[in-house]
Each structure stands twice: as C-alpha cells, then as structure tokens.
Structure 1
C-alpha cells in the first residue's frame, strides 16, 4: 500500500448513495422535501397518497412533461428518506421487471440537486401520451396508485 492509498483508507471512503430523479413542474430548492398529500398529476387527481421517483432520466422526463400545471418542467435529483417500492402502474403486468426503474413512497424525498440540461420527448409523442391517458380516464381506467 502506498502513502496515498493509506491516507484514503484512514480518512474513510464515502459510500455511494443511489440518487434518483423526480420530474415535476414544481419550483423546489436543494434541501427541500417532496411530500405526499398534494393533488396528483395522474389518475383521478386526488390528493396523492404516494410520491414518485425513478432511477432513469427518461422516466423522470415523462414525469415532468405529463405533470399538471403551468410551471417550467424540471428534473430534480432526490434521495428517499424512507422505503420505496415499485410503482404498480409501470411494473407488474404492464412492464414486468420494472424496466423504467420507477418507484413510489409515502415517505418524503430530499431534493439534492437539479438536472439543468436534458432533452424532452418530441411534442407529438408527448401529446400522444396525454391523449392516451385521457382515453383511459374516459374509459374509467384509473391509476393503480388511486387505490
């Protein structure tokens, strides 16, 4: 072991903490907590029982693009403060194995940063997704997260 390696080991390595993404139109600051209980962007637009995060940037981009409201679309880096579980709307029978790496929690997420440069989906693709969600609502098919 050389002197540099010895100093690194003595000072202790910083363990990697998984950071996740959260797409929204909310204007948040580093250190703030994202909590459940606000109006949901999806399903029946009830007060949200869960909040959502993803380990993939693409899923967070969809979250920002589909979020309700008029604010600027934003992607935050977040850390869960409690347990997370697979989002049933994007896993189980629809997408076995959770390929979008989408999760939900009833516990807050701490904002640790913001992704300032990202590429959104083409406008036509976003509109097609919004139209598809509207058709599901008209058919009475709602989010599994409303249950």
Structure 2
C-alpha cells in the first residue's frame, strides 16, 4: 500500500476537483493511515462499503462526521481529515446524479485507498442545521434551529 502513495498523478474524470480533499469520520486517525473500501458503513453497519467517500469541502466532511456521530449512539467526536486519493476517483453518483446535478457538494468516491495527510481543526460545525431533514426528506430552513445528536437519533428512529 505505501508504494501507491508515491504516485504523482491521480486519474480522475474531466471536471472533477483537484482538491484539497477531506473525509469526516468519527474515528481518531493518524497521519499516513490508509482508508480502504470493504469495511462496514458507519451509519448502516449491515452494509459493507465498496467505496470510500470524500469531499472537497472541509465543512461538508464535518457535516458527515457529525451525522455519523449523532447516529452512532456513542459520545464519539467528529473529526475532519485532509486526505489524498491514491487511485482513480469520480463524482459520487448518489448525490450528484440523483440530488444535485453538477456536483455542487463536491462529493466523490473511490475504491482505491485514501491517505490521511492531517487533521483539520477549523471547520464549521453543522449542528445548527436541521440535519435530520437529510433522513426524513423534509423541506426545512437549515438555519432555523440547532440540532443535537440525541434529537437526530430520535428523528431517524434510533
């Protein structure tokens, strides 16, 4: 795996961001750790993930981490890490093709590893947004109220 990090060029489709890129897990990770596909989903443990997901927006990675923390039922802290894609990656089709054509969320996926290059500490928390709307498909004003992990769990039935 380490030899792959020496690649100076990552293959990507035309129109895909050059980075920087971020990942938002609840895991406490170290620099030079590789994230790989084939593990259980953080949000749905019954699902094995064929891809690793990431974004070019640090705050978007923070939102993903906060949703995962809220759904985990633990006191896990959300983290945002700067990452480097090691192989081919492309737009995340469940978001870009189905919900937001043109990829304004700058969301991507890969079946190749991602290397952690550092932790980002100055991202904006999304707890003020009604994150539960992402799961209930409600039309809500995202700036209307704060939402805590306990509320998020209750809204999605956990």
Q: Flag whether TM exceeds 0.5 (same fold).
A: yes
Q: Name the TM-score, length of structure 1 as normaliser.
A: 0.70
Partner Cα distance (2:119, 2:111) in 1:
22
Shift of 1:60: 0.8
Q: Which has the larger radius of gyration?
A: 1
Divergent runs of 4+, >6 A: none
CA RMSD of aligned residues (A): 2.6
1:87 aligns with 2:92: yes
Aligned residue number for residue 62 of structure 1: 63
Q: Name the TM-score, length of structure 2 as normaliser.
A: 0.66
Equivalences for residues 41-60 of structure 1 within 5 A = 41-42=42-43, 45-60=46-61
Q: How many residues align?
A: 120
The runs of 5 or more residues in structure 1 that have no matched partner are: 1-16, 139-147
CA contact (8 A) 1:31 1:111 kept: yes
Equivalences for residues 1-147 of structure 1 within 5 A = 18-42=19-43, 45-67=46-68, 68-69=71-72, 70=74, 71-123=76-128, 125-132=130-137
CA contact (8 A) 2:84 2:115 kept: yes
Query: Relative contact order: is structure 1 or structure 2 higher (C-alpha 8 Å, sep ≥ 6)?
Result: 1
The runs of 5 or more residues in structure 2 that have no matched partner are: 1-17, 139-152
CA contact (8 A) 1:65 1:126 kept: no
